[in-house]
Amino acid sequence: MKITIAMINMKLHNIKITLLLWAIMVLNPIFAQQQVTIITGATIHVGNGTVIENGIMVFNNGRIVDIGKTMSSMYKNARVIDAAGKHIYPGIICMNNIMGLNEIDAVRATRDFSENGLMNPNARTLIAYSTDSKILPTATFNGILFTQAVPLGGTVSGTSSLMKTTGWNWEDAVVKADEGIHLNWPGMHVGSVPDENRMKQIEKQLQEIKSFFAEAAQYSKTTKPEITNSRLEAMRGLFNGSKNLYIHTESAKGIVSSINYFKLQFPLMKLVLVGATDAYQLTDLIKQYNIPVVMNNIHRLPSHSFEDVDQPFKTPGMLVRAGIKVAIANSGSWEARNVMFNAGTAAAYGLSKEEALQCITLNPASIMGVEQQIGSLELGKEASFVICDGDILDMKSSKISAAFLFGEIVELYNDQQRLYDKYMKKYGLN
């Protein structure tokens, strides 16, 4: 039989396919199943207020399968990590920031967190999120494993998503896509002497918001519109309960007017107040409607001359004592990596340390609807946690020695450490 080049190539191709299938069958069990890992001896901060001294945590295939003072069953061929003297915390969740959307403030080409125009609910931070950012590894280094990438600008800024701080690309990093719409409520302050022009401007902005939401509500009632409107399509989730409406407002007047409008017109809409500097003055109203509050950048001066100088530090504790669900956030990009130290300050002004921890773990997860996956270290949840040598809320003693994201070890080395090591070596200081 005459053998042609085509026949040889076909035979080689079949051999390659056979070898590939054999490799998949043989190696697949190895890659499909992680090794059971047991961590012993650590103080486990569950994230829901519970602390387990000298605890044991077991995870396998990315999920927690055992946690407590003792193991409920035996695990063969398990990897054991001795974490005696260390602390285990759930992966920190930083809400309301632009990490992954902004790299260098002074370089426009690296800023991708806002769009032109006033009403942009269809602007998605999800597809703008850059896992190649140099900022994200510095956040991971501090224990932040998840970030809420939030749009800025305009009246309706766009749609946020919950992302991992590490990954190959945004598809790999996404935890919950398009989880909320962000609305900037007009500043209601008109000064001690009313400014007629300012009052007219506020009224115009309010009318634009009300008109847009009324149009979106009407559009959402049509399952298959003849003409698709991308802006109104993005709003649909607000009316079917699949998305939060994040209302960015600071003043007491802004909080009252926004709550009154939305609870009157759309009583079932899920509202979240962001910023809400004056929220401590309106605890009864906020609690009445069970609205969560995302406190932002509490390391600052008070907003009013009549307030105590430490009012920003006390506000989270005052809200928690009133029965309000609170998340502590830190906006911006570079500064967001210090969110746990904001929570640490709140722990010195009215919150217990476990309550403060909950404000950056379980509460954010609950607000964004992922509390069954992350936010606390409980059976069946994702094994996303950090091992810390000291207190993660204390900038002096906090030192993350290891981090796991969905059961996989996370690299903590980043460019800042590389530069540190470089110059320590150059000058013989290491």
Q: In this model, does residue 234 exceed pLDDT 70?
A: yes
pLDDT of residue 7: 46
pTM confidence score:
0.88
pLDDT of residue 96: 96
If one counts every other C-beta atom within 10 angstroms of the C-beta of residue 24, the result is: 10
DSSP string across 86-103: -EEEEPEEEEEE-BTTBS
Could you tell me the two tokens for 34?
Answer: 């992680």
The maximal CA–CA distance of the chain, rounded, in angstroms, is: 102
- Averaged pLDDT score across all residues of the chain: 90
92-375 is classed CATH 3.20.20.140? yes
pLDDT of residue 190: 55
pLDDT of residue 3: 41
**Mean pLDDT, range 393-411, rounded to an integer:** 94
